[in-house]
Amino acid sequence: MKNGFLIVISVFLFISCSEKPKAEQNLTVKNVMDDVITRLYKQVSPEKYNTIDDAFMFQFLSDEEKSILATKYQYFKVNVPVRVSLMRDVKQATIPFWLKEAGFKNTGKKVKNEVFEYEVWQKDFEAGWVNLGIPGFDMDRTIFFITVGAKNKEDKLKITDRYPAKHSLGVMKKGAFTYHDWDGLKIIEFPKELEGQVLFTTVRGRAREAHVEGAFRKTNFPSSEKPDQILLTWSKNPVNSVDIQWRTNPSVKDGIVKYWLKGKKDTLFADAEISVMEDRMLYNDRYVNRFAAHLKNLNDDSIYAYMVGSKNSNSWSDIQIFKTEKKDQKKFSFIWFGDTHKAKGWGEMLQMANKQHPEVTFYSIAGDMVSTGLYRSDWDEFFGVTKDVFSYKPLMAVLGNHDRQDGLGTWMYYQIFSLPKNGPKKVHEESTYAFEYGNALFLMIDSTHPMEDQTEWIEERLKNTKATWKFVMFHFPPYNFEEPYFEYQKTWVPIFDKYHVDMVMSGHIHYYMRSKPMRNGKVVKSYNDGTVYVISIGTKSRDREIGEEPYAEKRYADGQFYQLMSIDGNKLTFTAFNKEGKPVDEFLIHK
Ligand SMILES: [Fe+2]
Ligand SMILES: [Fe+2]
């Protein structure tokens, strides 16, 4: 049967290959690199991966592959003759292999932004196509960018058929930015001749498109047939639903949840959606299948037992349990963490907290769950250190800057977490969302997304809730000693004040701070009149002094912490514990 299937596939491939000339098929850098890496995994043994350099790549690549890498990284059409200036980081060790060959010359001129210096390479092109190649097989995140200007000043330059089209065209001038994932980085110096030219913006993540030198990674937690990384979240009402997610290796082609009320015999089933997750540079586990099932119509205040597995392979998880919320519940508790960065030490603290507080109903993390958001090995570590905690206690988290990657997005996070799709229209679904548990409203905000798209939604949500408690969580803390976020203080804090948000929970700065009650940027007498801003850190904090913060009630420069929030009607007890499980900060709000 298997062989027959392979023959059918081969015939199909042969037919589809013979329909198109070979040169037209793999015209993108991505396709070439996908093929190259696949071939490399077949022909080269893992111990050699980290010795791969430019010389190796030249003998490994076909001429056709080289030509695509030299021309298809970036291209566009111009209507008049132009001069293209390519700004290359002076610290990049290797000059892109195609640059000189294509006729670009180093002019000796310099462009600077606030952090980096670039040398200016130039080439003149006639009207027609301009084709540029990859930045290199290394990964210099200070990736090259270009400006284009008409050769004759009277000509009106038009640029069309741009690839990639998604990054905007700007104007070369002082204060211009080049990288969308670091738009605060501004040009400060450049040769006068570039002034007013068309500036092609980019993202630093493009440095990874052909990255092979030192790029290969191994996961310590490879997938298998047996489901693992089982994760509970709530995309809908915690009273009668739950989302269950897990992964397997690619041999498992379908997913199903078997569940039953604990102690009862009737078994229910829910099918799972399946998606493939690829991390090309993860040589011992490049592909995994991810599953997500949404269980609905559950009884409230009930304990269910469940297993996840597959109809077609007989591989099932161990039995686990989850608990639905009691309707109109007024008493519950949860634990939240600041940045966790998939750290082993944080995992140990989580295990301890989980033992010490079996009563908590869910966990939360204020962003930077991992360190490099598009390395699946990071997420594998994350689940590795959390063990099975999130398979019986849901995790409701928000994104931090580290969960994204150099402007390439956050797609692994979206694929792993099934979260409410009730955020602002202009924000990616599941990035910013709201949920209610008991008598509390939680606004979970993606602060890596521009504020202006979210402000109205925040106000709407706060205005329309009947919840007793209003909590807001986002990664970047409005008040902190190091890098105060004045834009949040100006735009969001007045809304928090107007609707009396009880607590704003954040991370990012890697220390612990609990503010006094604050309103309108000033300390007020009681938490009934003001909001408490808390910053915490789940992994090991950075080792350094903390500066002046007149609004702070309690601070710790170093340590690792978790916060237990216990709600009982109109009473909230907040306790921060250190890694040893010792309470280090406590206060009470009584409404
Ligand atoms: Fe962080
Ligand atoms: Fe951060």
The pLDDT mean for the chain works out to 94
Q: What does the angle CA 575 – CA 578 – CA 584 come to, to the nearest 5 degrees?
A: 50
Ligand nearest to the CA of 369: 1
pLDDT of res. 2: 36
pLDDT of 387: 96
Distance (angstroms) between ligand 2 centre and the Cα of 538 equals 12
3-state percent breakdown (helix, strand, coil) of the chain, nearest 5: 20, 30, 45
Residues whose CB falls within 8 Å of the CB of residue 561, separated by 6 or more in sequence, listed in order: 337, 338, 512, 536, 537, 538, 576, 577, 578, 579, 584
Spell out the SS3 assignment of 75-134.
EEEECCCEEEEEEEECCCCCCCCCCCCCCCEEEEEEEEECCCEEEEEEEEECCEEEEECC
| Ligand that comes closest to the CA of residue 542 | 1
476 CA to centre of ligand 2 in angstroms:
7
Give the Å distance between the CA of 383 and the centre of ligand 1. Answer: 18
DSSP, res 418: -
Partnered with residue 363 across adjacent β-strands are 335, 395
Digit-coded pLDDT (tens) for 24-57 = 555 899 999 999 999 999 999 999 999 999 999 9
> What is each CA distance from 123 to 87, 105, 501, in whole angstroms?
12, 7, 57
What separation in Å is there between the alpha carbon of 365 and the centre of ligand 2? 12
Which ligand number lies closest to the CA of residue 343? Answer: 1
Dihedrals phi, psi of 112, to nearest 5 degrees: -130, 145
Kindly report the pTM of this predicted structure. 0.92
pLDDT band at 8 (very low <50, low <70, confident <90, very high): very low
Q: What is the pLDDT of residues 447-463, one digit of tens each?
A: 999 999 999 999 999 99
DSSP for 312-372, please give it.
SS---PPPEEEEPPPTT--EEEEEEESB-TT-HHHHHHHHHHHHH-TT--EEEE-S-SSSS
C-alpha to C-alpha distance for 477 and 505, rounded to whole angstroms: 8
CA of 506 to the centre of ligand 2 (A): 10
Q: Write out pLDDT tens, residues 210-248.
A: 999 999 999 999 999 999 999 999 999 999 999 999 999
What average pLDDT does this structure show over 563-583? 98
**What backbone phi and psi angles, to 5 degrees, belong to 258?**
-105, 125
Q: How remote is the CA of residue 343 from the centroid of ligand 1, in Å?
A: 11
Residue-level pLDDT at 283: 97
CA of 178 to the centre of ligand 1 (A): 24
Q: What's residue 335's pLDDT?
A: 98
Q: Is the pLDDT of residue 11 over 50?
A: no
* pLDDT, position 545: 87
Ligand 1 centroid–CA 165 distance in Å is 32
For residue 283, report the distance from its CA to the centre of ligand 2, in Å: 28
- Read off the pLDDT of each residue in 493-519 and give the average, rounded to a whole number: 98
Closest ligand, as measured to the CA of 339:
1
Ligand 1 centroid – CA 340 distance (Å): 7
The CA distance from 115 to 411, in Å, is 29
Tokens of 512: 């612990």
Q: What's the gap in Å between 507 CA and the centre of ligand 1?
A: 7
Among 107, 151, 109, CA closest to 130: 151
Q: Which ligand is nearest to the CA of 400?
A: 2
Cα–Cα distances (Å) from 410 to 105, 364, 376, 432, 447, in that order, read: 37, 18, 12, 13, 13
Share of the chain above pLDDT 90, in %: 92
Q: Residue 15 has what pLDDT?
A: 34
Mean pLDDT, rounded, for 512-528: 97
Q: Is 231 helix (H, G, I), strand (E, B) or coil?
A: strand
pLDDT > 70? residue 556 = yes
Per residue in 529-538, pLDDT (tens digit) is: 999 999 999 9
Summarize the confidence of residues 315-319 as an average pLDDT. Answer: 95
CA of 284 to the centre of ligand 1 (A): 28
pLDDT at position 73, please? 97
- Would the pLDDT of 9 be above 50? no
> What is the reported pLDDT for 382?
98
Q: Is the pLDDT of residue 17 over 50?
A: no
Please give the Cα distance from 493 to 520 (Å, whole number).
7
pLDDT tens track for 375-418 = 999 999 999 999 999 999 999 999 999 999 898 989 999 999 99
Mean pLDDT of all residues in 333-349: 98
DSSP 255: -
574-590: per-residue pLDDT in tens?
Answer: 999 999 999 999 999 99
pLDDT at 13 over 80: no
In degrees, rounded to 5, the angle at the alpha carbon of residue 483 between the alpha carbons of residues 477 and 488 is 45
Token pair, residue 523, equals 């300390």
Calculate how far, in angstroms, residue 360's C-alpha sits from the geometric centre of ligand 1.
Answer: 25
Lowest mean pLDDT of 12-21, 50-59, 200-209, name the range.
12-21
Instruction: Tell me how many degrees the CA angle 387-289-315 measures, rounded to the nearest 5.
Output: 70
- In this prediction, what percent of the chain has a pLDDT beyond 70? 96
Ligand nearest to the CA of 448: 2
Q: What is the 268 CA–ligand 2 centroid distance (Å)?
A: 41
* pLDDT tens-digit readout, 139-174: 999 999 999 999 999 999 999 999 999 999 999 999
544 or 65, which is more confident: 65
pLDDT at 25: 54
* Cβ atoms within 10 Å of 235's Cβ, excluding its own: 18
**Ligand in nearest proximity to the CA of 399:** 2
* Residue 1 reports pLDDT greater than 80: no
So what's the pLDDT on residue 436?
Answer: 98
Q: What is the pLDDT of residue 10?
A: 37
